[in-house]
């Protein structure tokens, strides 16, 4: 029976009278607690504890917190509803519905852009997948909800506000100052054609859309109908 301890044969130690009364043990425990309290009050500045909410931890500039949608200089969303962030999201918490933008140069825009914060795992994949630098994350982590509906952030709550950078500060984003990279440009700097989304009329009148120069590739070759009208074209 090497290595086996027979605990059944041992007689448990009997408690003394003071231990059975419990009060002396309670006083001993309170003495230890009060001793720690007095030491902490005397050395409060050297304690590692953060007195929240008066004191707040300074999180990293790449902290993954609440999401925001960036806007252009004219106030419109940079998002073009390409569904890249929705496809990249591992938690499937992003819902996007695309619509035709009234300004032709912007193509599409999100009619619906919802993020379910209860399902979000704050991985930042949506930020990495966005080709337009349209979605960032802040360092704001203070989110409390009383219902599931309150946890769904729509366009009005995702739009960037001045207090987002002033209160919590920017967090995870694809481009940082001084890292040698340049955010992508979008259609905001391109000349905008007059009109209000009448794309069919623009196509009928053959108005050239900005930034859409046909190249020599096979996808830009004339169709069979155009070849019938213009046999000279290859």
Closest CA to 113 of 145, 76, 73: 76
Quick check: 71 pLDDT over 50? yes
How is 112-130 classified by DSSP, letter by letter?
Answer: EEEEETTT-----HHHHH-
Cis peptide before 61 (omega within 30 of 0): no
Position 9 scores a pLDDT of 57
Position 14 scores a pLDDT of 79
**Taking residues 178-189, what's their average pLDDT?**
65
Least confident of 64-78, 101-115, 194-208: 194-208
> CA 161, CA 71: separation in Å to the nearest integer?
10
3 state DSSP class of 97 = strand
Position 46 scores a pLDDT of 81
Position 102 scores a pLDDT of 77
Position 217 scores a pLDDT of 46
Structure token pair of residue 105: 């140069």
Q: Tens digit of pLDDT for each residue in 123-137?
A: 999 999 998 889 999
Position 224 scores a pLDDT of 54
- pTM for the structure as a whole: 0.63
Structure token pair of residue 171: 């967090």
Position 7 scores a pLDDT of 63
**Choice between 94 and 108, residue whose per-residue pLDDT is larger:** 94
Q: Tens digit of pLDDT for each residue in 122-172?
A: 999 999 999 888 999 999 998 899 999 999 999 999 999 888 777 888 999
* Segment holding 39, helix H or strand E: helix 23-42
**89 to each of 81, 83, 133, 165, how far by Cα in Å?**
14, 10, 16, 25
């Amino acid at each position: 029976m090497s290595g086996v301890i027979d605990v059944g044969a041992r007689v448990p130690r009997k408690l003394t009278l003071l231990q059975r009364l419990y009060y002396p043990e309670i006083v001993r425990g309170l003495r230890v607690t009060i001793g720690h309290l007095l030491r902490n009050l005397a050395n409060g500045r050297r304690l590692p504890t953060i007195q929240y909410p008066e004191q707040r931890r300074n999180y990293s500039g790449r902290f993954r917190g609440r999401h925001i949608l960036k806007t252009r200089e004219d106030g419109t969303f940079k998002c073009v509803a390409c569904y890249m962030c929705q496809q990249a999201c591992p938690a499937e918490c992003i819902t996007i519905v695309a619509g035709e933008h009234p300004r032709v140069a912007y193509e599409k825009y999100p009619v619906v852009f919802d993020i379910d914060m209860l399902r979000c795992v704050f991985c930042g994949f949506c930020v990495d997948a966005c080709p337009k630098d349209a979605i960032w994350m802040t360092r704001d982590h203070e989110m409390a909800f009383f219902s599931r509906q309150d946890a769904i952030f729509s366009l009005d709550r995702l739009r960037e506000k001045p207090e987002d950078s002033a209160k919590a500060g920017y967090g995870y984003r694809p481009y940082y100052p001084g890292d040698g990279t340049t955010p992508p440009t979008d259609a905001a700097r391109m000349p905008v054609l007059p009109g209000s989304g009448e794309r069919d009329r623009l196509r009928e009148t053959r108005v050239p859309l900005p930034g859409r120069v046909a190249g020599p590739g096979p996808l830009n070759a004339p169709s069979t109908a155009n070849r019938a009208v213009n046999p000279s074209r290859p």
